[in-house]
Amino acid sequence: MIKELFRKKKYGTININNAENDSKKIDSEYSKNMKKQEKKDIDNDFWIRCKGCGETFSKEELINNFNVCIKCDQHLRIGARERVELVLDESSFIEYDSDMKTLDPLSFPGYDEKIDKAKEQSGECEAVVTGEGRINEIPVVICVMNPEFMIGSMGSVVGEKITRAIERAIDKELSVIIFSASGGARMQEGILSLMQMGKTSAALSRLADKGLLYISVLTDPTTGGVTASFAMLGDIILAEPKALIGFAGPRVIEQTIRQKLPEGFQRSEFLKDKGFVDKIVHRKDLKRMLYRILDIHTIGGGKNE
Ligand SMILES: [Zn+2]
């Protein structure tokens, strides 16, 4: 059946019944491509291979299990919209700044094409979705980074959307939840990308001055400039199990300090042991946990006074 699906997907317009040679060619192409394909995490529209245990599951099976591996509990990366659906009450989401688009301020070679490809792959305009909604009736402002868009890299638009969302939370006296998933600052925007670290951090400082709560949720991967700014500034910092969380990559660190890094370095569990993370929460429990925190620390999602 997989073979049939593959044929339809890849060779849908070829008439394989009437051309034996073509058929042989297709079979050899098929084996070659299947081998290549097996190495990918996401195989096609129907099957997903878990990068934790290597087992393959149907997309439907995994969706029914919060996109967490049924065998090894690996939390697979999910898109921003799926995350919004997972944590907010149904139909409660009101999106902010959905049409904000990236320009190419430095005329960086190939950047426009990269953005177009990311848009096509993710179906989103940028690497973060922001807005407000409710968690068991408590109103919150949320920002969800999208690992499917240039691995959630932070450029001007990501920083601007997050900053505006925080400012709206200040105006409305609401708590903020940010789900981080990022490869770091976006090099194609140079210093304009790096300054988003300061801008988002300053907005969070103003939120804190107003006595409003900020919950940071770290998901796989949270790295680079995002780790060095808003991801680590949460009043409460949660993380999904086994998420990669760090600033520089392990190889760079090993080369710099000339030491072998300990087992599990830069994973949620290690960071919790070292005090960077307050709690590791399984995806299926995430909404309940966020609700409990909001309920304890706020009055109707706003100030705790
Ligand atoms: Zn697995």
DSSP 73-128: --B----HHHHHHHHSPTT--EEESTT-----TT--TTHHHHHHHHHHHHSSSSSE
> Rg (Cα) of the chain, in Å, rounded?
21
- The Cα–Cα gap between 258 and 118 comes to 36
pLDDT of residue 295: 94
Please state, for a pLDDT cut of 70, what percent of the chain lies above it.
84
Strands (E), 225-282: 236-239, 279-280
pLDDT digits (tens, 9 = 90+) for 173-199: 999 999 999 999 999 999 999 999 999
| CA-based nearest residue to 250, from 267, 266, 229, 272 | 266
CA of 203 to the centre of ligand 1 (A): 38
- Where does the chain hold its CATH 3.90.226.10 domain(s)? 77-297
CA of 11 to the centre of ligand 1 (A): 30
| CA-based nearest residue to 239, from 184, 208, 288, 283 | 283
- The Cα–Cα gap between 176 and 141 comes to 5
Least confident of 7-21, 27-41, 236-250, 252-266: 7-21
Per-residue confidence band for 250, with pLDDT thresholds at 50, 70 and 90: confident
CA of 34 to the centre of ligand 1 (A): 20
Per-residue confidence band for 46, with pLDDT thresholds at 50, 70 and 90: confident
Answer whether residue 32 shows pLDDT above 60. Answer: no
Mean pLDDT across 50-71: 92
Taking a C-beta distance cutoff of 8 angstroms, is the pair 62, 48 a contact?
A: yes
Mean pLDDT across 142-170: 97
152: left (phi over 0), alpha (psi -120 to 50) or beta: left
CA of 45 to the centre of ligand 1 (A): 18
Q: Three-state SS for 216? A: strand
CA of 42 to the centre of ligand 1 (A): 13
Domain 77-297 bears CATH identifier 3.90.226.10: yes
Mean of pLDDT over the chain:
87
Answer whether residue 95 shows pLDDT above 90. Answer: yes
